[in-house]
Amino acid sequence: MARVTLLHDYVTREPFYLEGGHTRRMFRRIVGALAWPYGETPGCALVLGEIRTAQTIVGGRHELFILEERQTGDTQELVETAASLQAQWHVRKWATPLYDTRIYLIDDYNDEQRRRRLNARKIIVGDPAGWTGKGEGLMPMYMAFVQRRTQSEKTLHFGRDSMAAEEIRRLDVNDQVIRHPSAAAAFWAVAGIDMETMPEWDDRRESRGGPADPIGGY
């Protein structure tokens, strides 16, 4: 069952998501990130939402909430978890490094959906924002995005008992991102918000870019 409903602003026609239940939160964007298991450390599928308020509509600083965070060491289960979260939260695309050979599991899942003629939307993946090579040397950049939102300002909210938050607290800036899947998924989701503009912004502007600067500041 979907956890959010896709709606459009009456005036601007900009899409947004309305959460069901008692919260009734509105999200401007919802993004997903998938990090594969590393050794004995389980992989993680994570969904992040950018709050939509009167302040963010006119360009104010935006708050981010981790909506779902699921860990498993079983790669097939991780793919199925991503598919389930995608349907619940309307995730358009999953950030995950394309160099990893385990991507074939997602291709197999999509092929199986087509073969069985199921209605489930295929899982679309793409490299995380800012990703190069195998991610060597990128830890400082991703940590800077999260630290700005957790130390300089309080605009990133982890869920209770978040493994991503715990991993981030224990990280060494010289370590490799993929060694810490839950932290990596959080990094990639935040970077997806802060480094990539909404497609709808490009549609309404003559030049590419939307209201965010190259670093994601508003």
CATH of the domain at 50: 3.30.420
Q: Is there a domain that residue 217 lies in?
A: no
**Pairing mode, strands 43-51 and 64-72:** antiparallel
Give the chain's domain count: 1
Q: Which residue, chain included where needed, has tokens 């938050």?
A: 165
**What pLDDT, on the 0 to 100 scale, is given for residue 118?**
74
**What pLDDT, on the 0 to 100 scale, is given for residue 183?**
98
Q: Is there a domain that residue 140 lies in?
A: yes
Tens of pLDDT along 171-210? 999 999 999 999 999 999 999 999 987 654 444 443 333 4
Gap between the Cα atoms of 32 and 167, Å rounded: 18
Q: Is there a domain that residue 213 lies in?
A: no
**What pLDDT, on the 0 to 100 scale, is given for residue 201?**
46
Q: Is there a domain that residue 168 lies in?
A: yes
Q: Is there a domain that residue 80 lies in?
A: yes
**What pLDDT, on the 0 to 100 scale, is given for residue 54?**
66
Neighbours of 55 (CB within 10 A): 13
Q: Is there a domain that residue 65 lies in?
A: yes
**What pLDDT, on the 0 to 100 scale, is given for residue 153?**
87
**What pLDDT, on the 0 to 100 scale, is given for residue 204?**
42
Q: Is there a domain that residue 215 lies in?
A: no
- What six digits make up the tokens of 6? 């896709």
Block means of pLDDT (10 residues each) for the chain, 218 residues, are 90 90 89 98 98 66 92 98 97 97 96 85 95 95 95 91 96 95 98 78 41 39
**What pLDDT, on the 0 to 100 scale, is given for residue 58?**
54
Choose among 39, 41, 40, 61: nearest CA to 50: 61
Q: Is there a domain that residue 218 lies in?
A: no
Print the domain residue range for 83.
Answer: 4-203
SS3 for the chain is CCCEEEEECCCCCCEEEEECCCCCCEEEEEEEEEECCECCECEEEEEEEEECCHHHHCCCCCCEEEEEEEEECCHHHHHHHHHHHHHHHCCCCEECCCCCHHHHHHHHHHHHHHHCCCCCCCCCEECCCCCCCCCCCCHHHHHHHHHHHHHHCCCEECCCCCHHHHHHHCCCCCCCHHHCHHHHHHHHHHHHHHHCCCHHHHHCCCCCCCCCCCCCCC
- What six digits make up the tokens of 112? 């199986």
